[in-house]
């Protein structure tokens, strides 16, 4: 099975109030130290698992990896190629903020080998961008998208909707403008209030009220309708793409295939084991200096846990899950994975589907209820110790 490699760059210029990712604001970064540490971490993975299989995708996430010097990106890619080799047509994605400063690096990043960029636009409205704590404006974002399209073969944009007070007409107008930009992939996320973020504090203090679930569901339906009509149907609950332009790297996660993760806080899964790197940048650097890798925890996953994770991830996809193949993979009967009676119940209600081959999935009508459906469909014995 071809492998995927995730590289985490933990630094941002500012912490967005909705963000619970492993991101940190620092006055500066010792690039030489980060180069040495990330290379050592990568070489540890190669020594641990071998180098027989070529990489099919690489993803630079963060944080804000577009703040990385392009020369460092090139060095890391060169080392990955030396260690594993690249499959033909490898997908190499880098997340970027659409600021003019970062867009100025796009040409150099493309020369370094990046061929897909994911732009954190988040909104095309200046007032909303200020609310979300973003450092760019709407016009700056539009210029960055144009620059990205000139340098990268594939461009994705992120938008956040279901914001406080947002209505159907407002979202239809904004999403319509975004669809006209001609990107081949869009990640469209509903605003969620995550614990330990500034927004969680703001909501607790009554500074704003999140959009209620019914109105958010209405906007989800608008999103599906408009993206379908534009030729970017949802292939995952929040991700939309033209045919053939799906994120191959993220599909690795959702299809529960192996991937390597290096850098602060990065998760990996390979050979039935899960790895987690040290989250705090300083702790990560110290760990690599002491042990030649940044792993804070590595544990063997029990088959029951793997099967549960595979179901929880795979049912996010429009393609669903090949249930017989999954059961065979983990050495269990299909009845051990899914509650057949509840699957039939929700199929009759139009929330799930099942074909003659045993593949199952969640319908577009069921996707807004995905979390609740997962709790009902996945056998309790799989998700409880």
Instruction: Check residues 336 and 267 and name the one with the higher pLDDT.
Output: 267
Domain termination site, one of 231, 253, 275: 253
Q: How many residues appear in the chain?
A: 385
Whether the per-residue pLDDT at 383 is higher than 80: the answer is no
DSSP 177-222: HHHTT--SEEEEEE----TTSHHHHHHHTTS--PPPHHHHHHHHHH
What does the pLDDT average to over 3-10?
A: 96
pLDDT digit string, tens, across residues 69-82? 999 999 999 999 99
Whether the per-residue pLDDT at 101 is higher than 90: the answer is no
Q: Mean pLDDT over all residues of the chain? A: 95
pLDDT band at residue 362 using 50, 70 and 90 as cut-offs: very high
Q: Say what the pLDDT of residue 70 is.
A: 97
Q: Say what the pLDDT of residue 380 is.
A: 74
Task: Check whether residue 140 and residue 235 sit in a common domain.
Answer: yes
Whether the per-residue pLDDT at 16 is higher than 90: the answer is yes
In this structure, of 32-36, 91-95, 96-100, 108-112, the range with the lowest mean pLDDT score is 96-100
How many helices and strands, by DSSP H and E, does the chain display? Answer: 16, 15
Which tokens in the block code for residue 164? 């406080």
pLDDT digit string, tens, across residues 43-72? 999 998 877 789 999 999 999 999 999 999
Q: How many angstroms separate the CA atoms of 304 and 310, rounded?
A: 10
pLDDT digit string, tens, across residues 286-335? 999 999 999 999 999 998 899 999 999 999 999 999 999 999 998 888 88
What helix, strand, coil percent values describe the chain, rounded to 5?
45, 20, 35
Q: How many angstroms separate the CA atoms of 133 and 136, rounded?
A: 9
Q: How many angstroms separate the CA atoms of 210 and 199, rounded?
A: 10
Task: Check whether residue 49 and residue 157 sit in a common domain.
Answer: yes
In this structure, of 85-94, 95-104, 224-233, 265-274, the range with the lowest mean pLDDT score is 95-104
Residue 150 C-alpha from the chain's centroid: 24
Cα–Cα–Cα angle for 59, 64, 67, rounded to 5 degrees: 105
Q: How many angstroms separate the CA atoms of 95 and 373, rounded?
A: 31
Residue 149: which CATH number? Answer: 3.20.20.70
pLDDT digit string, tens, across residues 150-165? 999 999 999 999 999 9
Task: Check whether residue 36 and residue 119 sit in a common domain.
Answer: yes
Q: In sequence order, which residues have a C-beta less than 8 Å from that of residue 101 and are 6 or more positions away?
A: none
Task: Check whether residue 243 and residue 342 sit in a common domain.
Answer: no
Structural domain includes residue 260: no
Q: What percent of the chain has pLDDT over 70?
A: 98
What does the pLDDT average to over 342-357?
A: 95
Task: Check whether residue 128 and residue 12 sit in a common domain.
Answer: yes
Q: How many angstroms separate the CA atoms of 3 and 263, rounded?
A: 17
Domain encompassing residue 379: 320-383
> Under a CB-based contact definition with an 8 Å cutoff, are residues 28 and 60 in contact?
no
pLDDT digit string, tens, across residues 198-222? 999 999 999 999 999 999 999 999 9
Task: Check whether residue 141 and residue 225 sit in a common domain.
Answer: yes
Task: Check whether residue 173 and residue 248 sit in a common domain.
Answer: yes
Q: Count how many domains the chain has.
A: 2
Whether the per-residue pLDDT at 1 is higher than 60: the answer is no
Whether the per-residue pLDDT at 274 is higher than 60: the answer is yes
> CB 341: neighbour CB atoms within 10 A?
8
Structural domain includes residue 310: no
pTM of the model: 0.95
Structural domain includes residue 331: yes
Q: How many angstroms separate the CA atoms of 313 and 236, rounded?
A: 10
Domain termination site, one of 253, 277, 305: 253
Q: How many angstroms separate the CA atoms of 58 and 325, rounded?
A: 27
Residue 362 C-alpha from the chain's centroid: 20
**For helices 340-348 and 370-377, angle between their N-to-C axes, nearest 10 degrees:** 140
Q: Say what the pLDDT of residue 50 is.
A: 72
Structural domain includes residue 284: no
Structural domain includes residue 203: yes
Domain termination site, one of 208, 226, 253: 253
pLDDT digit string, tens, across residues 164-197? 999 999 999 999 999 999 999 999 999 999 999 9
């Amino acid at each position: 099975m071809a492998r995927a490699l995730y590289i985490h760059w933990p630094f941002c210029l500012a912490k967005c109030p909705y963000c619970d990712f492993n991101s940190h604001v620092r006055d500066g970064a010792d690039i030489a130290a980060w180069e040495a540490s990330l290379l050592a971490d990568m070489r540890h993975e190669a020594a641990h698992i071998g180098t027989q299989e070529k990489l099919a995708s690489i993803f630079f996430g963060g944080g804000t990896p577009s703040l990385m010097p392009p020369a460092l990106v090139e060095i890391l890619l060169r080392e990955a190629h030396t260690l594993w080799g690249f499959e033909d047509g490898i997908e190499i994605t880098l997340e970027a903020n659409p600021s003019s400063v970062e867009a100025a690096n796009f040409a150099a990043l493309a020369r370094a080998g990046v061929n897909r960029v994911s732009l954190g636009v988040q909104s095309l409205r200046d007032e909303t961008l200020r609310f979300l704590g973003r450092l760019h404006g709407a016009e700056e974002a539009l210029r960055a998208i144009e620059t990205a399209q000139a340098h990268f073969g594939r461009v994705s944009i992120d938008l956040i909707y279901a914001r406080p007070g947002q209505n159907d007409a407002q979202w239809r107008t904004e999403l319509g403008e975004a669809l006209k930009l001609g990107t081949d992939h869009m990640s469209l996320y509903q605003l969620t209030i995550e614990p330990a973020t500034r927004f969680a504090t703001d909501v607790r203090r009554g500074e704003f009220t999140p959009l209620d679930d019914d109105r958010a569901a209405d906007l989800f339906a608008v999103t599906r309708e408009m993206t379908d009509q534009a030729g970017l149907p949802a292939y995952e609950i929040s991700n939309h793409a033209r045919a053939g332009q799906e994120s191959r790297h993220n599909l690795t996660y959702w299809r529960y295939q192996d991937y390597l993760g290096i850098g602060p806080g990065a998760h990996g899964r390979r050979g039935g084991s899960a790895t987690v790197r040290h989250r705090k940048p300083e702790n990560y650097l110290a760990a690599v200096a002491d042990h030649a890798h940044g792993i804070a925890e590595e544990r063997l996953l029990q088959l029951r846990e793997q099967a549960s994770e595979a179901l929880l991830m795979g049912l996010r996809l429009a393609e669903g899950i090949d249930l017989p193949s999954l059961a065979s993979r983990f050495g269990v009967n299909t009845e051990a994975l899914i509650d057949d009676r509840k699957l039939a119940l929700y199929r009759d209600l139009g929330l799930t589907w099942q074909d003659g081959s045993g593949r199952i999935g969640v319908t577009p009508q069921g996707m807004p209820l995905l979390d609740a459906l997962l709790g009902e469909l996945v056998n309790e014995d799989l998700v409880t110790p």
